[in-house]
C-alpha cells in the first residue's frame, strides 16, 4: 500500500464516520421526544455533515481522480464505505441513539485532539475545526447518558440495554490495521492503544456517574472501517440516503 492510498483510505474512514452518523442522527428530525432534543439532534447531524464535506473533500483531492465530496458520499455502495460498525447501527430508542453518540463522541474527541497535531496541515486544520464542535457534542451526549442512566428505573434499564447492545462495536475503533499503522508511521494518526486508555478513563467516569455497568466482554465486531463486512443496516440506510442520486445520477440544483 502506498502512502497516498493509505491516506485516501484513512480520510474515507474519517469522512464516512461523520457521514453515516450524521445521516443516522438526522433520521430523528421531526421525531424526537421533545422539541429541544429534536433541534439538538438536527444540529449535531448538521455539524457532522459539515465535517464530512471537509474530510471527503480532502479525500477526493488526495485521490486525484476528480471525485468530489458529493460523489464519494452519493456514488459509492456499501462495500466502498469505510465507517465504523458503531455509527451505522440503527437509532433504536432515544437512549440508544444517545448511547451510540456518547461512545462515538468520546472516541472522536480524543482522535481529533491528536489529529490537530498531524504532520499534514490540511488534516490538522480540519481536526481543529471539528474538535470545537465535537467537544460540544460530547458535553451533551455524556450529560444525557448520565441523566437517563441515573434516572428512573425504566430509563436506567433502557440505557443499560443500549450499552450492552453497542459495547461489542467499541473495540473496532481501537483495533489498528495496515492503514492505521501507515498513518501512525507518517506522523498523522495517533497510536490507538494510547487513545484507548484515554477513552476508557473518560467513558468509565461517565458510566460510573450514570450508574451503568460496563460489559465484561472484550469481544469486538470488526469489518466496518476496512469495508470487509458491514452490518446489514448500512445498505438499508444507503437506499434512503442515496435514493435521489441512484434514481437521477448527477442531479444537481
| Site membership for another protein, residue 32 (CB under 8 A) | no
CA atoms within 13 A on the CB side of 45: 17
29 binds another protein (CB under 8 A): no
HEC-encoded secondary structure of 162-206: HHHHHHHHCHHHHCCCHHHHHHHHCCCCCCHHHHHHHHHHHHHHH
**36 lies in the site for another protein, by CB under 8 A:** yes
93 binds another protein (CB under 8 A): no
Q: Can residue 48 be called a binding residue for another protein (CB under 8 A)? A: yes
What is the nearest approach in angstroms of another protein to the Cβ of residue 112? 11
Q: How far is the CB of 69 from another protein (least distance, A)?
A: 12
Q: Which is nearer to another protein, 42 or 220 (CB)?
A: 42
Q: What count of Cα atoms within 13 Å lies in the side-chain half-sphere of residue 76?
A: 21
Packing angle, helices 35-63 and 94-115, rounded to 10: 40
- 70 touches another protein by CB under 8 A: no
Q: What is the DSSP string of 221-250?
A: ---SSSSS---HHHHHHHHHHTHHHHHSTT
Among 49, 165, 184, 186, contact with another protein (rule: CB under 8 A): 49
Per-position b or e across 191-220, b if 16+ CB within 10 A of its CB? ebeebbebbeebbeebbeebebeeeeeeee
Size of the site for another protein (CB under 8 A): 26
CA–CA separation, 159 vs 145, rounded Å? 7
Please list every residue from 148 through 187 that binds another protein, using CB under 8 A.
none
Residue 205, C-beta contacts closer than 8 angstroms, at least 6 positions apart: none
- CB of 139: closest distance to another protein in angstroms? 7
- Shortest Cβ 213–another protein spacing (Å): 27
Interface with another protein, residue 133, by CB under 8 A: yes
Residues 200-239 that bind another protein (CB under 8 A): none
CB of 115 to another protein, least distance (A): 13
Taking CB under 8 A as the criterion, the residue among 1, 39, 197, 205 binding another protein is 39
Cα(166)–Cα(227) distance, integer angstroms: 19
Considering the complex, state which of residue 50 and residue 171 has its C-beta at the smaller distance from another protein: 50
Q: Which residues bind another protein (CB under 8 A)?
A: 36-37, 39-40, 43-44, 46-51, 53-54, 121, 124-126, 128-130, 132-133, 136, 139-140
Amino acid at each position: 500500500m502506498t502512502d497516498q492510498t493509505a491516506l485516501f483510505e484513512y480520510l474515507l474512514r474519517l469522512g464516512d464516520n461523520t457521514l453515516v452518523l450524521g445521516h443516522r442522527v438526522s433520521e430523528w428530525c421531526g421525531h424526537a421526544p421533545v422539541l429541544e432534543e429534536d433541534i439538538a439532534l438536527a444540529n449535531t447531524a448538521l455539524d457532522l455533515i459539515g465535517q464530512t464535506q471537509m474530510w471527503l473533500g480532502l479525500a477526493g483531492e488526495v485521490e486525484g481522480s476528480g471525485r468530489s465530496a458529493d460523489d464519494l458520499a452519493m456514488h459509492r455502495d456499501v462495500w466502498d464505505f469505510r465507517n465504523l460498525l458503531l455509527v451505522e447501527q440503527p437509532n433504536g430508542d432515544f437512549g440508544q441513539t444517545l448511547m451510540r453518540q456518547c461512545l462515538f463522541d468520546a472516541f472522536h474527541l480524543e482522535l481529533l485532539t491528536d489529529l490537530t497535531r498531524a504532520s499534514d496541515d490540511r488534516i490538522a486544520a480540519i481536526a481543529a475545526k471539528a474538535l470545537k464542535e465535537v467537544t460540544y457534542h460530547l458535553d451533551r451526549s455524556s450529560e444525557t447518558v448520565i441523566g437517563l442512566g441515573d434516572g428512573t428505573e425504566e430509563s436506567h434499564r433502557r440505557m443499560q440495554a443500549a450499552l450492552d447492545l453497542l459495547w461489542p462495536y467499541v473495540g473496532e475503533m481501537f483495533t489498528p490495521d495496515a492503514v492505521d499503522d501507515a498513518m501512525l508511521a507518517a506522523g498523522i494518526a495517533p497510536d490507538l492503544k494510547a487513545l484507548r486508555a484515554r477513552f476508557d478513563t473518560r467513558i468509565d467516569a461517565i458510566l460510573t456517574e450514570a450508574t451503568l455497568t460496563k460489559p465484561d466482554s472484550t469481544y469486538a465486531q470488526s469489518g466496518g472501517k476496512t469495508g470487509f463486512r458491514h452490518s446489514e443496516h448500512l445498505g438499508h440506510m444507503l437506499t434512503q440516503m442515496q435514493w435521489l442520486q441512484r434514481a437521477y445520477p448527477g442531479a444537481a440544483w
